[in-house]
Amino acid sequence: MTITKTKSHVKIARSEWEKLKKNPSTSEIIELLEDMSDLEKAKKISGKSVTIESYLKKRGL
């Protein structure tokens, strides 16, 4: 597994990411990381404050 760390990001190859998603012991944490990333993107795009509760409600979670 190759992980590259920059000042503000950690990069994992897509193939490795998919393997981690399929692994039962890491799948839940991967889903959480993806949701956190999506929330940050939603905050930047909308230009307004988005709470985690409203975001999860919109996603149906």
**What is the pLDDT, as a whole number, of residue 41?**
75
Return the pLDDT at 56: 73
CA 47 to chain CA mean position, Å: 19
Residue 9 has what DSSP assignment? -
Work out the number of other CB atoms within 10 angstroms of the CB of residue 19.
13
* DSSP-H helix ranges across 1-61: 14-22, 27-46, 52-59
* pLDDT for residue 30: 82
50, HSE (Cβ side, Cα atoms, 13 Å)? 19
pLDDT tens, position by position, 7-38? 777 788 888 888 888 888 888 888 888 888 77
Write the pLDDT tens digit of every residue in 33-58: 888 877 777 777 666 666 767 777 77
